[in-house]
Amino acid sequence: MIPWWMLAVFVFGANFTLWGTIGLLRLLDGPTTRRGGIRFASRGAHALRKPPKREVSSIRAGSLTVRDVAVLIPAHNEGLVIADSLRAVLDVVPKANVHVVSDGSTDDTFELARATGARVIRTRSNVGKAGALQEAIERFRLVERFEVVMLLDADTRVDSGYFQAALPLFDDPRVVAVAGYVRSDWRRRSLSPLGKLLVCHRQRIYALTQFLLKFGQTWRRANATHIIPGFASLYRTEVLPHIEVNPPGLVIEDFNMTFEVYQKGLGKVGFTPAAVAVTQDPGSLGDYVRQTKRWALGWWQTVRRHRPRANLFTGMLTLLLLEQVTSGVLIVLLPFVLLLLVVPELTGIVLTIPGLAEIHGFVAAHVGFTALLFGVVLPDIVLTCTVALCHRKIRFLLFGVFFLVLRILDSAIALYALPLAWLSRSTGRWRSPSRRRLGTTPVPGTDPPELTTTHRDSTDAREG
């Protein structure tokens, strides 16, 4: 019989334990804690408050100011959200520093972006996010004109304290990129019950991976993280010429850019929970599945593209990949194991089916209800309660009973995408999920008075 603790290790993994422990060491590391550490998290929880009334160019963080930062937003048919995202970043960054590239948009994305005063260009056709980024970096001459570039998704709104938290990390000359802290946009009136569940599930994933993985992985003494998320990230412009932003055949760019940083020895990645940005997550099951599949496919494609090297990053990656496969298989098998254990208890007639009695006997000899309860169900509940406590949101507890079901879905999609990374090539072209537009700017902690949701064909056009 498999002990429950061993099942818990296989299902929830050694990565959380390893990097969570390193994260605790980072908290005890004085300089890191004082500069961009966990103490900023409580302030970041109240994102999107209006900044003090002062000139944005006076906002200083260490030796860099926002005057040194170019903001680059790639957008494809993002008319519902682009104006809100631009307004948020224009509150803290000089207007001349904000750049938008409309990637083959057929809606009013270009016109809305230009109306805010940002610098806006168009691509001649839909070349994909990575292609649009590469073209914009060259056409805007960002490497020559700025010290740092922020890559910002069109549906993402930066917190007013993002740059004060993130820019000091560049005071360490070894840091060449900084990852932002992602929070899900929670708009109750624009979300169906299923949409609320999906957003809560995604926010739980963000919280666990950012605090139990990324916080430890980006410690200056042990630096190796698997992704600098493309929703709101910062790069030193001097390293961009050394990064292949748009290699052929990849569905997304942020995994690849992260691998390039580490595998080419360009430097370290910084991260602080105080550098908050709020992004939209899918509010429908179809959009959620397509986005999760796209992310999983992009992950495996990137793994396929980069050969392993003798460094800490490859060691981290090897452990993560091994755990993803083993944990994914066990999670996907969980419903079948439960059926094999429960159904014969309810009706023994099923054991008369040829071969089923042998399978039941094998499973029952290795896994029992106690192991499943203490090795899978209770640890998942503990993680949910921890996230609810940290975020001080009861909604995680209300939806918690369904999170394990969605994790089974996530694992099935990840395993499904694994062979596709070797059997297919992607064009990089994109279509966004359905967006939710805010009618007026909300007061933090209140519901918006008017919301509009658009539903568009979100068939993944990046899987060519």
Q: What pLDDT is recorded for position 167?
A: 97
Question: pLDDT class for 187, splitting at 50, 70, 90?
Answer: confident
Question: pLDDT class for 361, splitting at 50, 70, 90?
Answer: confident
Instruction: Name the token pair of 332.
Output: 């996907």
Task: Tell me the residue range of the domain where 281 lies.
Answer: 1-464
Domain of 274: which CATH number? 3.90.550.10
Instruction: Name the token pair of 108.
Output: 């009013």
Burial label, 32 (beta-carbon count in 10 A; 0-12, 13-18, 19+):
buried
- Count how many domains the chain has: 1
Q: How far apart are CA 209 and CA 292, in angstroms?
A: 15
pTM (two decimals): 0.86
Which percentage of the chain shows pLDDT scores above 90? 71
Q: How far apart are CA 372 and CA 7, in angstroms?
A: 8
What does the mean pLDDT of the chain come to?
Answer: 86
The mean-pLDDT minimum among 77-81, 268-272, 325-329, 339-343 falls in: 339-343
Contact 368, 3 (CB under 8 A): no
Residue 440 has pLDDT above 70, yes or no: no
Contact 139, 78 (CB under 8 A): no
Tens-place pLDDT, residues 15-73? 998 999 999 999 998 554 344 444 433 333 333 344 443 344 444 445 899 999 999 99
